[in-house]
Amino acid sequence: MSAITIKDIAKICNVGISTVSRAINDDPGINKNTQERILKVIEEYHYVPNNSARNLKMTESNTIALLIKGIDNQFFQGMLKIYEEELKKIEYSFLIHAVGEDQDDASVALELAKEKRLKGIIFLGGLINYSEEKLNMLGIPYVLCTVAANPEKPRHNCLSVSINDEKESYKAVDYLCKKGHKKIAIIAGKENDYGVGKLRLEGYKKALEDNGVAYDASLVRYMKSELTEFSVANGYQVTKELMESSIDCTAIYVISDLMALGAYKAVFEAGKKIPEDYSVMGFDGLEVTKYFHPSLTTVEQPCSQMVKHSIELLMDAIDGGTEDKQILLDADLQERDSVTEIGQGA
């Protein structure tokens, strides 16, 4: 009988050859249960690793690609530092690849997978409307992180980590309603947005309805398509036009903290005060919002948890684990100084 090979061990354990190599070399990134299972089979079959098997870890890539839709968004930039720290702990490196607003994420990922020797891909931002056929052609595990789910085309056959944007947006507007506000303007996404913008707008509408506040389309102000999405400039321009209109409101809900900074400038330029004249609510929970004047009340996304969960899901998939798991995390409403109760200076 011929000696058992690393390929045989991989087949018995239903994992890839590289996973067997990682188990042999005690790779810190491997799932411990998977490693124990492989080592047990190795012992049972008296497998002796040869030099090529022992050196496989040295020749294979331990690189993860981060594909980002909206590279200029400070929310994603804040996540990159966490990715760097967490991947370093398990001796993985990563490369960053920006995906243009008009580019197809799956096509970009396919090209990148051909050019680079990757262990896996994490998609950041965008909308879950990728071609399943193209993604299946990647040949490596992938995770969708902070990728908005299209309610009209729900997808479950994937690994994903996100918040429920509609639910968390509801939380923000419900808070404003409970503070007595009935005329709440929203600085929303693009008018034809089917991703995060649409979901947060739906949460806004539902919160108004549940609080007995009539929906007023004139209070919905959409992002400018000619300006960078979720940018300070976009928030400033849209809020400036709101200030110059005859529309009456007591609160402004901005679906991005960066846009809220632009909204602050537009309000101040109009000779008004926050929160005395207008209460302002943000979304994302950027660290810098603590230092706005006044500090911004916002919905804080659990960035660190999202990063850690996305890495754990990817490592599990690399080790031959599940390929279908969706994690929804809760966001936290951070109550600060930019919102006042009606009748107290409003």
For residue 123, tell me if it sits in a domain. yes
**Cα–Cα distance, 126 to 197 (Å, whole number):** 11
The last residue of one of the domains, among 284, 301, 318, is: 301
258 and 170, same structural domain? yes
Decide: pTM greater than 0.85: no
For residues 173 and 293, membership in a common domain is answered with: yes
Q: Give the DSSP H/E element, type plus range, for residue 114.
A: helix 105-115
Amino acid (1-letter code) at residue 248: D
Domain count, the chain: 3
Each of the 346 residues of the chain gets a pLDDT tens digit; together they read: 456 778 788 889 888 777 887 788 777 778 888 889 989 998 888 887 654 444 444 445 789 999 998 777 888 888 999 999 999 888 899 999 998 877 888 888 888 888 888 999 999 987 666 667 777 788 889 999 988 765 555 566 789 999 999 999 999 999 999 999 999 999 999 998 878 899 999 999 999 999 999 999 999 999 999 998 899 999 999 999 999 998 999 999 999 999 999 999 999 999 999 999 999 999 999 999 999 999 999 999 999 999 999 999 999 888 888 778 889 999 999 999 999 998 644 4
Q: Do 180 and 261 belong together in one domain?
A: yes
In terms of domains, do 27 and 97 share one?
no
The answer on 311 and 291 residing in a single domain is no
List the one residue out of 309, 243, 254, 308 whose CA is nearest residue 286. 254
Assess if residue 336 is contained within a domain: no
Residue 98 CA to residue 105 CA, distance in Å, equals: 10
Q: Give the model's pLDDT for residue 106.
A: 84
Residues 12 and 107 in one domain: no
**Do 19 and 125 belong together in one domain?**
no
Q: What is the CATH number of the domain that holds 296?
A: 3.40.50.2300
**Do 315 and 230 lie in a common domain?**
no
- Has residue 345 been placed in a domain? no
The residue out of 26, 43, 59 marking a domain boundary is: 59
157 & 79 share domain:
yes
Strand positions, DSSP E, 136-245: 142-145, 148-149, 159-163, 184-188, 220-222
Residue 231 is assigned to a structural domain of this protein: yes
- The three-class DSSP label of residue 247 is coil
For residues 25 and 111, give the distance between their C-alpha atoms in angstroms, rounded to a whole number.
Answer: 31
Which pLDDT belongs to residue 128?
A: 62
Residues 237 and 253 in one domain: yes
The reply to whether 337 falls in a domain is no
Here the tokens at position 226 are 């000619």
pLDDT at 5: 79
CB atoms within 10 A of CB 222: 17
Residues 6+ apart with CB under 8 A from 99: 67, 68, 69, 105, 108, 126
- Residue 316 sits at the vertex; the CA angle it makes with 315 and 321, to the nearest 5 degrees, is 150
**Pair 294, 214 in one domain:** yes
How distant, in Å, are the alpha carbons of 72, 171, 257, 259, 287 from that of 290? Answer: 21, 20, 11, 15, 6
The Cα–Cα gap between 187 and 203 comes to 13
Token pair, residue 105, equals 């994420």
pLDDT attached to residue 312: 93
Are 184 and 209 in contact by the 8 Å Cβ rule? The answer is no
- Beta carbons of 290 and 317 less than 8 angstroms apart: no
| Domain interval for residue 17 | 6-59
Q: Quick one: 293 and 202 in the same domain?
A: yes
Q: Is 120 inside a domain boundary? A: yes
Is 335 within the bounds of a domain?
Answer: no
Determine if the peptide bond prior to 302 is cis (ω within 30°). no
Any idea which residue has 């107290």 for tokens? 344
- CATH of residue 36's domain is 1.10.260.40
In a domain, 172, yes or no: yes
Please state the length of the chain: 346
Question: Which pLDDT score, from 0 to 100, does residue 174 have?
Answer: 98
